[in-house]
Chain A
Amino acid sequence: MDRLFKRKTLDNGINLYIHSTDKFKTVTVCAFIHQNLDKNTATRTALLPFVLKRGSHKFPSSRYISLCLEELYGADFGADIIKKGERQIIQFFIEMVNSRYTASEDKILDEGLALFKDVILNPLTEGPAFKKDFVEQEKDVLKRNIEALFNDKFNYAIERCFQEMCKGEPFSVYKYGSVSDLPEIKSEDLYDFYKMIIKSRPMDIFVLGEVDEGQIYEKLNNLFSNERREEKIAGTVVVKEVEREKFVEEKQDVNQGKLSLGFRTGTRYGDEDFYALMVFNSVFGGGPHSKLFQNVREKESLAYYAFSRLEKSKGLMLASCGIDFDKLEKTIEIIKEQLDDIKEGRISDYEFESSKKSIINSYKEAEDSPAMIISLYLDGIINGVEESIQEIIEKIRNVTKEDVVKVAQKVKLDTIYFLNKM
């Protein structure tokens, strides 16, 4: 099996994935710390990357971190939260220019890794607590980040649909948690929480770029030598049945109605019929060749954008479009018709072939981007799937129209969400 990444384990149990290639001008290093998405811990977990990137022992403020990054030819560095299924993942990344292109003797890689480690493992503390100012300021930043979703009506209408659809399930928790949890978070407790997370949660480090495998292993094994005792974490629960279709309407002062439809697909990454589901989604709303684009946009001129996408780990599909307020019923009707058409096997050769080609094309394109390569492998790790991009492409090629029709029978509309005008 031609796996891109060589997998190794550091002495303390951290997984290390190395892909040595001269394809890119940079060396990218990512660290992921996995945590169950849970409403009781989500906000505290979300706060950690924000507080950590404020400063460490060696770099006691964000400004010192930035000064160092600029000296390293503008290395990119960041820390954030990503949500994949019912996992909340703390992500750190640093992308450094390969020193061969800077015509300098600078030790960009060594200095960049030292900074990376210091921010993750040596946070700036005051006694047994994070620096209090950092925690208080970042609570405010996180609050603003949570509230910023409100300004972004496109994503707001998608997130709200998922929340309504998965009420009571961990998946309904926003990746940054909730504003109401913030006031009670104290820097002492947060520091204890951080130590617990660092010690016990699964952690993966990815390295991608022109590196020597043995050397990079040694460097990281020396830098990340903290004591750990790893605990297993839970998987994502896939709900397959829909009791009754829900309709949720919300009113705001907007110029365009935003319609989202949430579906349960009953299929997740790791299931045998997942590849058929990918083709199904592509036929339904995965691009300009899709039924949604062709009918909602091109034929009926109802929308500028109309698409669907999958949530790989949770077995969900979401369709979304921006429409005139008085076109709600008509649009819903047309979208439902498209799903029925697929269920009844009305898929043209053009739709079917274009869908497969489009998915294959996007996987091949992903191989040209360090961030995309790492994200795809992370999806595999989370869902317990070990396969190369080549293998995924082969499985997509083997999907038949019958497979698509079969997987479509499992797709059930759960929730319609509409952002209406006041």
Chain B
Amino acid sequence: MNYIGENLLSREFDNGLKAYVIPKKNFNKVYAVYSTKYGSIDNEFVVPTTGERLKVPEGIAHFLEHKMFEMPYGNVFDKYAELGASSNAYTNYTNTTYLFSTTSSFEECMRLLLEFVETPYFTEESVEKEKGIITQELRMYEDDPEWQVMLNLLRAMYHRHPVRDDIGGTVESIQNIDVDALYKCYDTFYHPSNMVIFVAGAVDADRVFEIIGEWENKRGKLPQGEIIRTYPEEPDTVNKPRIDVKMSVSRPLFLMGFKDNDVGYDGIELLQKEIITNILLEIIFGKSSLTYEKLYEEGLIDDRFSFGYEGQKGYGFCTIGGETKDPEKLKDMLVTSIDEAKEGGLKEEDFERVRKKYLGDYIQGFNSLEFIANSFVSYYHRNVNIFDYPKVLKRITFEEAERRLREFFDFDRMAVSTVYPK
């Protein structure tokens, strides 16, 4: 797809692992990720090798991510530092991703990524020690009002789905994590068939595939079938219409969400739904909307006001909100603007203008290797090719947006979360 002047090359290896490369020859940097479709929501599953049905403690995917950096010879961070590169990882609801970025010694860095992600090494002592570090990480988030307001919104929207739990688990839940559970999770979800490698930057694609191929052929892994994951039955309704808490903040934080019931699929249909929903949010609440102008002039929001739609196969929701002096009034005005949009309809010129903006944002994203890699992986695990984005953006219609507006913004599936000052 040369539309934006980029090429995507791919290779599938015998054990089921897939790798993708976008070469950017005039960049200094290479950014590489190794990602598994395994996140904080995957707590109930069948271990493929034994058939054992397992329920593991909340926060274990994130805990595992931390422990992967430990090798029999020491710490992986140190190895990357010796190479002059930096490495990191993140865990979200649906995937765990390991990454490095470097401007030299790419081949060593790449082999190290393969080596450490494919080498689980957990000892009782190191697992106990990690509990101390992760406890401090969780404490840090406890003092982060933006994180708390989001967590509470998810708890309000969802009765049982694990998206309502903190990605890192709780200080209590992580105490139950042990070496045995970590290995079982690793063996299940870190199989090549469940993973993907993506590299962008100053590299030669064939050389990347060669390095990976040599490495993977030595592993002796065979392709594995689909992993059976179980999620609790989630009712259509919201759990609670609102959750309010008090924290040490200067001003209230407010977040409104709508729970999507049109779920259960991924792929290009999911991408289409995501784009349409985001365009709707932009038309109704974006900076060019009358609603935004009114809220801003009344001092109810500032330019940190934000909104977005998160769509996965098993769940979907949007969030709208920010810091405000009057959460009740903000809520009422947001509700009114949705009502007005539903009753009065949308303007086609707004739809076309926002479509243009989204195309530009997409192109602009290709300035950043991090953005390319993280979007690629996030879409990949949802069976979407990121290069299909402009095509879908172009083909969606105003009528589809109007239909989605009426179906998605159902006030029976709305919840709000507020953090008030103490």
Give A contacts to B, CB under 8 Å: 22-26, 61-63, 66-67, 69-76, 95, 97, 101-103, 133, 137, 140-141, 144-145, 147-148, 150-151, 153-154, 252-256, 287-289, 293, 297-298, 301-305, 322-324, 350, 353-354, 356-358, 360-361, 364-365, 367-370
Contact = CB atoms under 8 A, between A and B. Distances in A.
Nearest to A282: B81
B247 to A, nearest CB: 8
Interface residues of B, number: 69
B343 interface: no
Nearest to B84: A357
Nearest to B292: A63
B360 interface: yes
B248 A25 contact: no
Contacts of A102: 359-360, 363
Interface in B134-174: 134, 136-137, 139-140, 142-146
A340 B288 CA distance: 56
B81 A25 contact: no
B286 A66 contact: yes
A305 B366 CA distance: 30
Given A101-B363, A361-B102, A73 B81 contact: no
B353 interface: yes
B251 A147 contact: yes
A287 B78 CA distance: 10
Given A76-B364, A253-B247, 13 more contacts: A26-B364, A26-B367, A61-B293, A63-B290, A102-B360, A147-B251, A151-B251, A289-B82, A301-B136, A304-B134, A357-B83, A357-B104, A361-B86
A174 to B, nearest CB: 14
A367 B142 contact: no
Interface of B: 3-5, 26-29, 75, 77-78, 80-86, 101-104, 129, 132-134, 136-137, 139-140, 142-146, 247-251, 253, 286-290, 292-293, 296-297, 299, 302-304, 323, 353-354, 356-361, 363-364, 366-369, 422
Contact of B287 (A62, A287, A361, A368): A62
B140 to A, nearest CB: 5
Contact of A70 (B27, B102, B356, B422): B356
B4 A25 contact: yes
Contact of B364 (A74, A154, A304): A74
B146 to A, nearest CB: 8
B366 A70 contact: no
Contact of A288 (B77, B139, B143, B247): B77
B82 A353 contact: yes
A151 B145 contact: yes
A70 B250 CA distance: 33
A74 B288 CA distance: 11
Given A25-B366, A354-B82, A361-B84, A151 B249 contact: yes
Nearest to A101: B363
A137 B297 contact: yes
A298 B130 CA distance: 9
Contacts of A61: 293
Given A26-B367, A297-B133, A253 B248 contact: yes
A414 B34 CA distance: 43
What are the nearest 7 A-B pairs in CB distance?
A: A357-B84, A73-B360, A74-B357, A289-B81, A301-B132, A74-B360, A288-B77
Contacts of B4: 25, 101
B29 A368 contact: yes
B290 A360 contact: no
B140 A304 contact: yes
A76 B364 CA distance: 10
Given A254-B143, A361-B85, A67 B288 contact: yes
A339 B67 CA distance: 29
B360 A75 contact: yes
B351 to A, nearest CB: 11
A316 B4 CA distance: 44
Contacts of A322: 136, 139-140
